[in-house]
């Protein structure tokens, strides 16, 4: 039998003593709220309060929490096996997931490499690009090109392509590999993209012949600032990569599985990358899982090289439990009119967040798909603003200058309205 739950005081005390939270001090730990359960769009705190979740637990819980279909998939797989190694063995959950991903992602991405987390999927994407060029006798093509304000994860190679100012380059500058950075995409979503908008990227590509790949988040730059940029720009990036013989890696870890209104954000531009990363929402927020896909041409290129293989293989690769839940989550998503749900969220957010645009302290309000952002002019004190939201029965966790929401797609209109009005009210408190 599991031990009985700890009293909340004791839980919080032990948390402060032993549990290290993300981007947090262990010596002066930030306030945390104990959650005892979650169902639908609601988180239940230990003191009985319920919060409407505006974050989908870092953008992953598409179908809300404790979903009967995903629970059933987990129980069913548990009864067979929760894990088995993927070296020399295979199983239905992984094969089904790889087939689903190959079918649903943009054309030509047929080869699927499963792994544990988004950052690792980015490591693998970069390794694919480097091995590809090595196998072509172009080991000199070993640098990456990306745009500023990007975010690709917290492992070392992933950090090296995060924004050089807001990322952790100061801290780790001495050991991070050096890559090339172009200006962040300036034309906004819905705008066209002129020649000059791609000038920075074009210049770097023309000046260097050691570039293996361009890595970019399609349409939405997420943790780097929630910028929504022009689909035309992304088409331009694809053309430039083709012209200069450089691979294109799209990082759809944040945007994949419907968040921007298309199943994958690349579809806004009608382009297909050579290598694609997915993660976050892939299991509907149940377990950590990610995947890197590539074209047959990239796969053949890599495997024709000296190594004859992609040199990667995580211990828990293709974990059956995670794969079974991912299959259930993806099938649940595509079996329903999810586009309508996302469009309804987009419309409601547009209407409800709009009044914040008039506030002194607000720099911008923007909405795309199931993403709503109020950008403040000044940095936000996370702990105190988070607490204002909790007082209102909402779970919204700001970062930088941004108050944003990425709610579960199942949120109903009443809860979404409450959530969006709460965001506007807090923005007003910070600077009306």
Cβ-count burial 298-314 (b if 16+ within 10 Å, e if not):
bbebbeebeeeebeeee
Closer CB to ligand PLP, 134 or 255, in the complex: 255
Closer CB to ligand PLP, 134 or 329, in the complex: 329
The reply on whether position 251 binds ligand PLP by CB under 6 A is yes
| Beta carbon of residue 75, minimum distance to ligand PLP (angstroms, whole number) | 25
Of 60, 43, 36, residue with least CA distance to 408: 60
Closer CB to ligand PLP, 289 or 330, in the complex: 289
Of 105, 41, 50, 73, residue with least CA distance to 257: 105
- Among 54, 106, 153, 225, the residue binding ligand PLP under the rule CB under 6 A is 153
The mark string for 402-421 relative to ligand PLP (x by CB under 6 A, - otherwise) is: --------------------
The reply on whether position 118 binds ligand PLP by CB under 6 A is yes
Cα–Cα distance measured from residue 6 to residue 70, given in angstroms and rounded to the nearest whole number:
28
Cα–Cα distance measured from residue 60 to residue 56, given in angstroms and rounded to the nearest whole number:
5
Q: Which value, in Å, is the radius of gyration of the alpha carbons in the chain?
A: 22
Alpha helices in 183-230 (DSSP H): 199-207
User: Interacting stretch for ligand PLP, rule CB under 6 A, among 82-90, 107-115, 150-158, 294-302?
Assistant: 150-158
Tell me the residue number closest to ligand PLP, measured at CB: 118
Cα–Cα distance measured from residue 276 to residue 252, given in angstroms and rounded to the nearest whole number:
7
Work out the number of other CB atoms within 10 angstroms of the CB of residue 116: 18
| Beta carbon of residue 168, minimum distance to ligand PLP (angstroms, whole number) | 13
The reply on whether position 234 binds ligand PLP by CB under 6 A is no
User: Interacting stretch for ligand PLP, rule CB under 6 A, among 123-131, 251-259, 338-346, 388-396?
Assistant: 251-259
Enzyme catalytic residues: 23, 151, 251, 280
User: Interacting stretch for ligand PLP, rule CB under 6 A, among 71-79, 93-101, 117-125, 408-416?
Assistant: 117-125
Closer CB to ligand PLP, 125 or 198, in the complex: 125
Cβ contact 130:212 at 8 Å: yes
Closer CB to ligand PLP, 228 or 359, in the complex: 228
| Beta carbon of residue 223, minimum distance to ligand PLP (angstroms, whole number) | 5
Cα–Cα distance measured from residue 107 to residue 226, given in angstroms and rounded to the nearest whole number:
27
The backbone region for 257, taken as left when phi is positive above 0, alpha when psi lies in -120 to 50, beta otherwise, is left
Terminus-to-terminus CA distance in the chain, angstroms? 53
Cβ contact 211:240 at 8 Å: no
| Beta carbon of residue 217, minimum distance to ligand PLP (angstroms, whole number) | 5
The mark string for 120-149 relative to ligand PLP (x by CB under 6 A, - otherwise) is: --x---------------------------
Alpha-carbon distances, residue 337 vs 39, 128, 341, 342 (angstroms): 22, 35, 7, 9
Phi and psi at residue 27, to the nearest 5° = -90, -45
The mark string for 190-229 relative to ligand PLP (x by CB under 6 A, - otherwise) is: ---------------------------x----xx------
User: Interacting stretch for ligand PLP, rule CB under 6 A, among 233-241, 248-256, 316-324, 391-399?
Assistant: 248-256
User: Interacting stretch for ligand PLP, rule CB under 6 A, among 188-196, 205-213, 246-254, 387-395?
Assistant: 246-254
Closer CB to ligand PLP, 223 or 430, in the complex: 223
Closer CB to ligand PLP, 253 or 333, in the complex: 253
- Among 54, 279, 398, 408, the residue binding ligand PLP under the rule CB under 6 A is 279
Closer CB to ligand PLP, 67 or 280, in the complex: 280
The reply on whether position 369 binds ligand PLP by CB under 6 A is no
- Among 253, 275, 374, 426, the residue binding ligand PLP under the rule CB under 6 A is 253
Tokens found for residue 209: 């012949």
Does an H or E element contain 103, and which? helix 92-104
Of 90, 93, 59, 58, residue with least CA distance to 73: 93
| Beta carbon of residue 158, minimum distance to ligand PLP (angstroms, whole number) | 7
Cα–Cα distance measured from residue 38 to residue 21, given in angstroms and rounded to the nearest whole number:
20
Cα–Cα distance measured from residue 217 to residue 149, given in angstroms and rounded to the nearest whole number:
10
Q: Nearest-5° angle of CA 151, CA 154, CA 157?
A: 85
- Among 254, 278, 342, 368, the residue binding ligand PLP under the rule CB under 6 A is 254
Residues that bind ligand PLP (CB under 6 A): 117-119, 122, 151-153, 217, 222-223, 251, 253-254, 279-280
């Amino acid at each position: 039998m599991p031990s009985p739950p700890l009293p909340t005081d004791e839980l919080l005390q032990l948390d402060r003593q032993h549990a290290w939270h993300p981007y947090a001090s262990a010596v002066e730990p930030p306030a945390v709220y104990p959650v005892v359960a979650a169902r639908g769009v609601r988180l239940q705190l230990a003191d009985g309060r319920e919060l409407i979740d505006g974050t989908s637990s870092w953008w992953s819980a598409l179908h809300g929490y404790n979903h009967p279909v995903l629970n059933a998939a987990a129980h069913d797989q548990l009864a067979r096996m929760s894990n088995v190694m993927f070296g020399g063995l295979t199983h239905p959950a992984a094969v089904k997931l790889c087939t689903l991903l190959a079918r649903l992602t943009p054309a030509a991405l047929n080869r699927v490499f499963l792994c544990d987390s988004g950052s690792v999927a980015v490591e693998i994407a970069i390794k694919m690009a480097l091995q590809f060029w090595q196998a072509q006798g172009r080991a000199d093509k070993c640098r990456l090109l990306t745009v500023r304000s990007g975010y690709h994860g917290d492992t070392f190679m992933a950090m090296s392509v995060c924004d050089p100012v807001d990322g952790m380059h100061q801290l780790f500058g001495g050991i991070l590999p050096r890559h090339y950075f172009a200006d962040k995409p300036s034309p906004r979503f819905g705008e066209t993209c002129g020649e000059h908008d791609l000038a920075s990227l074009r210049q770097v590509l023309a000046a260097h012949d050691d570039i293996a790949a361009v890595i970019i988040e399609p349409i939405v730059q997420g943790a780097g600032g929630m910028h929504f940029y022009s689909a035309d720009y992304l088409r331009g990036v694809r053309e430039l990569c083709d012209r200069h013989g450089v691979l294109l890696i799209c990082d759809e870890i944040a945007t994949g599985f419907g968040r921007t209104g298309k199943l994958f954000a690349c579809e806004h531009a009608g382009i297909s990358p050579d290598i694609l990363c997915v993660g976050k929402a892939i299991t509907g927020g149940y377990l950590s899982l990610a995947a890197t896909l590539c074209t047959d041409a990239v796969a053949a290129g890599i495997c024709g090289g000296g190594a004859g293989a992609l040199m990667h293989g995580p211990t828990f690769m293709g974990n059956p439990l995670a794969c079974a839940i991912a299959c259930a989550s993806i099938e649940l998503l595509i079996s329903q009119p999810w586009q309508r749900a996302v469009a309804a969220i987009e419309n409601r957010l547009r209407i409800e967040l709009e009044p914040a645009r008039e506030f002194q302290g607000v720099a911008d309000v923007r909405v795309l798909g199931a993403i709503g952002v109020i950008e403040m002019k000044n940095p936000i004190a996370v702990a105190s603003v988070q607490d204002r939201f909790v007082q209102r029965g909402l779970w919204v966790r700001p970062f930088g200058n941004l108050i944003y929401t990425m709610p579960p797609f199942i949120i109903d209109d009443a809860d979404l309205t409450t959530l969006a009005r709460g965001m506007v009210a807090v923005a007003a408190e910070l600077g009306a």
